[in-house]
A = this chain, B = another copy of it.
Amino acid sequence: MYFLKNAGSAVSWHHEFGGLFGRDKIVPTVLEAMDIIEHLAAIPLFSGLSREDLDDLVPVVQYKTYQRGERIFAEGDEGTGFYVVISGRVKVYKLSFEGKEQILHMFEPGAPFGEAPVFAGKAFPANAEALEESVLLYFSRNAFIERINKNPSLSLNMLAILSERLHTFTRLIEDLSLKETPGRLAAYLLYLSERQGALDNLELGISKTQLASILGTIPETLSRIFSKMTKQGLIDSDGHGRFRILNRLMLERLAAGEVRFSQSGSHTEE
């Protein structure tokens, strides 16, 4: 589903960065260069690149670190480069005039973001903010385009990533336009359970407020739907962000829009 961008790499991402490189350090030391290469090699965007190709990228990247809640870029900022998450988590979102937030994407280690303006030559169309302390790699526009010119496999990787993202946006549009909120929540829960592999157990990993913003609704509405799903025996919660799917079939029918929530359910009415 569209909700999270996971690198899917088994490589241990969570090194300690403490103090090794400061924010916006430009000239890498030899030690850092080795570190950078290790990071680059584990980024799907660079899969299939030779060791020399990676070496070639080292001088054009910078580490940047952001605190929880710190903004990375704002809508309208000029897109002079893009980022890859090394550690931490980043949300990309839009705000309405009244302040309602719609999360477009959450990015986890290994995932690039902010690339579109690099190729379209436009400003960032949305805002980005670190959800926790995060280390990012920054690639400046011009240097990266140069590398793409020389490396077809790099451009094909990038095309694949943008295509994949278009696909997730398509699903988000479909959900917002054609499904009701309970269906979107059901889809999200099923997606999480699949992604986490742990059969019918799953963990949100984010606050319900954030989840509401991902699903295109507000916390109050989400809360009501959660309690209704629980009452109807579709899911069960430990009260700490962990859930168990009790009626997968019904969740799937909800997610597909086959059933309306008000009518559906195992009628535990009294």
Contact = CB atoms under 8 A, between A and B. Distances in A.
Contact of A177 (B117, B152, B216, B256): B216
B97 A258 contact: yes
A64 to B, nearest CB: 22
Interface in A140-187: 145, 148-150, 152, 155-156, 158-160, 162-167, 169-174, 176-179
B257 A163 contact: no
Given A155-B159, A160-B120, A178 B96 contact: yes
8 contacts: A94-B170, A95-B178, A97-B257, A102-B178, A116-B166, A119-B159, A120-B163, A176-B176
A129 interface: no
A177 to B, nearest CB: 4
A219 interface: no
Counting chain A residues whose Cβ lies within 8 A of the other chain, the interface size class is: 35 or more
A104 interface: yes
A156 B102 CA distance: 30
B171 A125 contact: yes
A126 interface: yes
A163 B257 CA distance: 30
A195 interface: no
A100 interface: yes
A149 B156 contact: yes
Given A115-B163, A116-B167, 19 more contacts: A94-B170, A94-B178, A95-B178, A96-B179, A97-B256, A98-B257, A100-B177, A104-B170, A116-B163, A116-B166, A119-B156, A119-B159, A120-B167, A121-B160, A155-B155, A162-B163, A165-B166, A172-B173, A176-B176
Nearest to A99: B178
A251 interface: no
Contacts of A216: 176-177
A85 interface: no
Contacts of A163: 115-120, 122, 162
Contacts of A173: 94, 102, 104, 169, 172-173, 176
Contacts of A102: 173-174, 177-178
A109 to B, nearest CB: 21
With most chain B CB atoms within 10 A of its CB, the pick from A94, A152, A163, A172 is A163
B126 A170 contact: yes
